[in-house]
Structure 1
Amino acid sequence: MSERIIAATDGTSDRGAKLVERLQAALGAEHSAIFAYARFGVLLDKAGQAQARTGEEAHRTRRDALLVQLADLKATAPVAQAGYALPFPVATRADALKLAAYIEDGVAATWRAALADAEGEVRRQILLAYTDAAVRGTRWRKLAAVTPATVSYPGRKTQ
């Protein structure tokens, strides 16, 4: 997971510019995921908190890789906001688990969108990020006893 997403473009072609936009969106999703993990993690039991720490660290690692990648492309990296509006109130363990799955689905959606404009090694790295978020979302749904825990085509807008 420590591997950077290596761009095969300088960002000047239409496809390269679109990929840069997708990577910027992915960075925004990673920023919001880090914020959300800090908010819901405290509502979980010890095992859930350990899973939340692992998830937050994964998002921090992806964020850091994207910051380097966008700098290499001489593209503007969106700055993390001081706070993010949560999609619903989070006051209980059940709320926390619901938010965890929701956040991972959103992150998966941004990475899924980036697949369309990537190829080669870049596409492989994006696919790894997409799969990572999708698997983490499934783990949160399993912990919440949501059935089905898996979703077909994670990150698809029809979810």
Structure 2
Amino acid sequence: MTRAVTRALTAPEPTKAGGRALAAAQAVLAAEHAAAYGYGVIGARVAAERANEARDAYGGHVARRDSLARTVRDLGGSPQSAEAAYALPFPVRTPGDAERLAAEIEERVAGAYSDLVRAADGPLRREAADALSAAAVRAARWRGGGVAFPGLTERAERARNS
């Protein structure tokens, strides 16, 4: 018997809502993996006066990534692993590029958490809302200004530009 068949026979069938929450949690986990990678690049290029901010953001993303791996397991899934490397949306050569990348990362993370807020309920929804808020605050700090609906505005703009 193959492993997939064995797992299908022994693992409980996720509910539709639980399946949506699991898929959204996996997407957030992927976003947190990418964020941790991106902050490694940012840390190498950011101006000295913002290095602590970058270091704190990196630590926050690593902590949330580790928590999400546990959440995915609790929802009956197998946490996806980080990629060896991630493609950056643009070259990061200057401190300004690093700040722009940090804002972009936080916007993407906020978008992923907004999906988890919609898919989850109970304590997981609260945790996702808190993480969405934290990402929105970091994005505003890096960008120098906020948006009306973090996590949603960016998705609408991307849809219009696609």
Q: Into which bin does the TM-score normalised by the smaller protein fall?
A: 0.7 to 0.9
Q: Which runs of 4+ in 1 moved over 3 A?
A: none
What corresponds to 2:109 in structure 1?
107
Q: Secondary structure at the match of 1:158?
A: helix
Greater helix fraction, Structure 1 or Structure 2: 2
Contact map agreement 1:111 1:127 (CA 8 A) in 2: yes
Show the counterpart of 1:5: none
Of stretches 64-73 and 76-85 in structure 1, the one that deviates more from structure 2 is 64-73
Q: Give the total of aligned pairs.
A: 144
Give the Cα–Cα distance (whole angstroms) in 1 for the partners of residues 84 and 27 of structure 2: 17
Q: TM-score, normalised by structure 2?
A: 0.85
Deviation at 1:123, TM superposition (A): 1.1
Shift of 1:45: 2.1
Q: Give the equivalent residue in structure 2 for 1:158.
A: 156
Q: Structure 1: where are the runs of 5+ without partners?
A: 1-9, 143-148
1:60-109 CA-partner distances (Å, limit 9, x unpaired): 00001011121223302111000000001111111111100000000000
Q: Deviations over 1:6-27 (max 9, x none)?
A: xxxx871111101000000000
SS of the equivalent of 1:103 reads: helix
Asked if structure 2 preserves the Cα contact closer than 8 Å seen for 1:43 and 1:96, the reply is: yes
Unaligned runs of 5+ in 2: 1-11, 158-162
Secondary structure of 1:131's aligned partner: helix
Larger Rg: 2
Amino acid in structure 1 at the alignment position of 2:121: E
Mapped pair 1:77 → 2:79: yes
Q: Contact between 2:18 and 2:75, CA under 8 Å: does it hold in 1? A: no
CA distance in 1, matches of 2:142, 2:97: 11
Cα distance in 2 for partners of 1:78, 1:11 equals: 19
Ranked by relative contact order (alpha carbons within 8 Å, sequence separation 6 or more), the top structure is 1
Identity of aligned residues (%): 37
